[in-house]
Amino acid sequence: MPTARAIGPEELLDLLRRRGPELAKDFFRPETDLLNLIKVAVMGNTFRAFHNLQRRPSEIFREWAAARFTPETVAALPRIRSQADFDTAHQRFTNDLATYWGDQGKKPIGVGPAFKLPALLFKSVARWSQLPANRRDQLIQFLPVPLDSYSLLALKECAASGRHGTAFHIPNNATMAFIDSADLYAQVQGLAREVAKEAGVPAVYVDFVAWDDAHSKTPLAPK
């Protein structure tokens, strides 16, 4: 089983430049079935982190996602023209998921998971074949990094270095639960964007080199 690892700033930049485009090209191959893209956006190893819910977490999430990410909604995503507007939309979906999750599961979802699950969903539905290629490319520029043990540990040394902003600490055992506030989420995403900007690639490439590259023996394994 691949393990997450800390990556030094220079190595991370090299991976983003060298491996990121290849992994992204493989992942973003267009797919026609939007409902299947919703289904495979989040898989068992993420859902296993949730316990003692009234319903299965996969059922709650996929039911919510299918109702919110309709063909009309996904087709409209590329109309978002700025990072700030995308972040506002992401926050809206995060808040809505948190409400739905609490209603259906009878237990609150944490801040980190509430951000991560829609982030994975955005990443997956960007593959939908009904999106024109130029609009897909624009959407990819705004995608957030799904924050989990792989992406957080990959960013750990960049966070500590202060090279891309104010230094802060990411623990070695950080998981999606490490993100316990919207402010911390924004700080980590801001770091990822600054690192990716230096590498000349979209921020979501951090996820490709942290997660997808680690799982490349089973190519682009879903989370």
Span 35-45, mean pLDDT? 95
Q: What percent of the chain has pLDDT over 70?
A: 95
Asked whether the predicted pLDDT for residue 217 surpasses 90, the reply is no
β-partners of residue 31 are: 128
pLDDT in tens, 148-174: 999 999 999 999 999 999 999 999 999
Please report which confidence band the pLDDT of residue 221 belongs to, taking 50, 70 and 90 as the band edges: very low
Residues 6+ apart with CB under 8 A from 102: 108, 109
Please report which confidence band the pLDDT of residue 220 belongs to, taking 50, 70 and 90 as the band edges: very low
Span 182-194, mean pLDDT? 98
Span 84-98, mean pLDDT? 97
Asked whether the predicted pLDDT for residue 189 surpasses 80, the reply is yes
Q: Which two tokens stand for residue 154?
A: 């990959």
CB 71 within 8 A of CB 34: yes
User: Which one-letter DSSP state was computed for residue 108?
Assistant: P
pLDDT in tens, 136-152: 999 999 999 999 999 99
* Separation of alpha carbons 167 and 158, rounded Å: 8
* Separation of alpha carbons 159 and 195, rounded Å: 10
Question: What integer best gives the mean pLDDT of the chain?
Answer: 93
Asked whether the predicted pLDDT for residue 54 surpasses 90, the reply is yes
Asked whether the predicted pLDDT for residue 191 surpasses 70, the reply is yes
Show me where the domains of the chain are located: 15-148+177-223
* Separation of alpha carbons 187 and 18, rounded Å: 25
Asked whether the predicted pLDDT for residue 1 surpasses 60, the reply is no
Lowest mean pLDDT among 45-49, 126-130, 182-186: 45-49
How high is the pLDDT of residue 186?
Answer: 97
Closest CA to 154 of 3, 10, 12: 12
